[in-house]
Amino acid sequence: MATARAEQAVTAFPHEQRQLPVRVYTPESPIRHPGTLVRDAFRDLAIARKLAWRLAVRDISAQYRQTFLGYLWALLPSVMITLVWVALNRANVVHISTGTISFAVFALSGTIFWSLFLDSLNSPLSQLSGNRTMLVRVQFPPEALLLSGLVQVAFSFAIKLALLLVVAAALGAPLQWTLVLVVIPAFAFVAFGVVVGTLLAPLGALYKDVQQGLLAIVMPLMFLTPVIYPPPPAGVAATIMRYNPLTPLFGLTRRLLFGTGVIPYEGFGIVFGGTLLVATFGWLLFRLVMPLLIERMEA
């Protein structure tokens, strides 16, 4: 794991001559040997990939085996939120105009991609707490948990996306051939969520405040993001939405799906590029702090 510096030494079993892996554990920070840190990280990543798949299969099968409605649960929350907003809009409690596409399709696409972001954001921390006992007892690359979380997020998103396309087609939304490219903003949503989630996870594994804080912040954040309604033309909300890093992601998504709005090249580029950059550091940081976290998690 992160504390180890792997070397190769010629050491022998009594009756067979072979290379034994050597690991050295010291109080030193692995950051002092960046080369080794990165090499170990990539070595573990290969192991983590296979393990992540197993863990994801485990969690998905277990999760749905214990439910009556099964995979429907991936859909219900988004559908419920959409229905409430559609009802509010119909009753003229709110007045939301979404141009060429119906409000229901607009809102459903918004909530589905919003939940993709939320799932990604929560995934690292929930993986850490869900696998606590394993973490404090078994040596395995902790990246496996992050990757397993990604697989699970992708799985439930695939179900939701299928529903969205069916509903959109049924309601006569102007679906574009570009919709296959929607995987690009989808990937950006996941990356952005997981990176922020991973940076918060070590803190969150220690202090419950992080989880509470996330709960408190997501609802207001949703109203300051073009999830249910398009950005208003002016006002404080408009300014916040303009600088909200999620806004270009929603813009690109809807453009690719329905051909509405302009492609936010600049905004998307900045957010996506920045996310990938931070992701590399976030990953190494996560590796560095894991052993310290594990010793406090037992407490």
Partner 1 sequence: MDIAPAIQVSSVSKRYCRSLKKSLWYGIRDMGNELVGRGQQADHLRPAEFWALKDVSFEVGHGESVGLVGHNGAGKTTLLKLINGLVKPSSGRITVRGSVRALIALGAGFNPVLTGRENIRVASAVLGFSEQETRDRFDDIVDFSELGEFLDAPVQTYSSGMVARLGFSIAVHTRPDILLVDEVLAVGDLRFAMKCFQKIGSFRAEGGAILLVSHNPYMIRRNCDRVVWMETGHVREIGEVNEICDAYEAEMANEAAPSLQEHYSDGTIRVVGVDCPAEIASGEGLSLRVVLESERAFVNPIVQVSFTDAGGQHVVVNDTLNDHVGLELERGTNVFELDYPTLPLRPGVYTFNVAVSEQFMTNLCLMDLAVGRFEVRREREDHGAGVLALAPTWHTDATAAARDEAAR
For position 191 contacting partner 1 by CB under 8 A, the verdict is no
Interface stretch with partner 1, choices 3-11, 103-111, 211-219, 225-233 (CB under 8 A): 3-11
From residue 138 to residue 157, the character string flagging contacts with partner 1 as x (rule: CB under 8 A) and all else as - is xxx-----------------
Kindly give the interhelix angle for 183-206 and 143-170, rounded to the nearest 10 degrees.
140
Apex CA 109: angle with CA 103 and CA 113, to 5°?
145
Alpha carbon distance 142, 48 (integer Å): 8
Alpha carbon distance 194, 197 (integer Å): 5
For position 21 contacting partner 1 by CB under 8 A, the verdict is yes
Residues 6+ positions from 109 with CB-CB distance below 8 Å = 164, 168, 253, 254, 257, 258
CB of 255 to partner 1, least distance (A): 39
Q: Which is nearer to partner 1, 93 or 138 (CB)?
A: 138
- Select the residue interacting with partner 1 from 39, 43, 242, 296 (CB under 8 A): 296
Alpha carbon distance 143, 224 (integer Å): 32
For position 31 contacting partner 1 by CB under 8 A, the verdict is yes
CA 49, chain centre distance (Å):
16
Within 262-291, the residues that bind partner 1 by CB under 8 A are 285, 288-289, 291
For position 133 contacting partner 1 by CB under 8 A, the verdict is yes
Total residues at the site for partner 1 (CB under 8 A)? 55
CB of 144 to partner 1, least distance (A): 8
Residues 6+ positions from 130 with CB-CB distance below 8 Å = 59
Q: What is the DSSP letter of 230?
A: P
Q: Which is nearer to partner 1, 25 or 223 (CB)?
A: 25
Alpha carbon distance 158, 75 (integer Å): 10
Q: Which residues bind partner 1 (CB under 8 A)?
A: 1, 3-4, 9, 11-15, 20-29, 31-32, 47, 50-51, 54-55, 57-59, 61-62, 65-66, 131, 133-134, 136-140, 202-203, 206-207, 285, 288-289, 291-296, 299
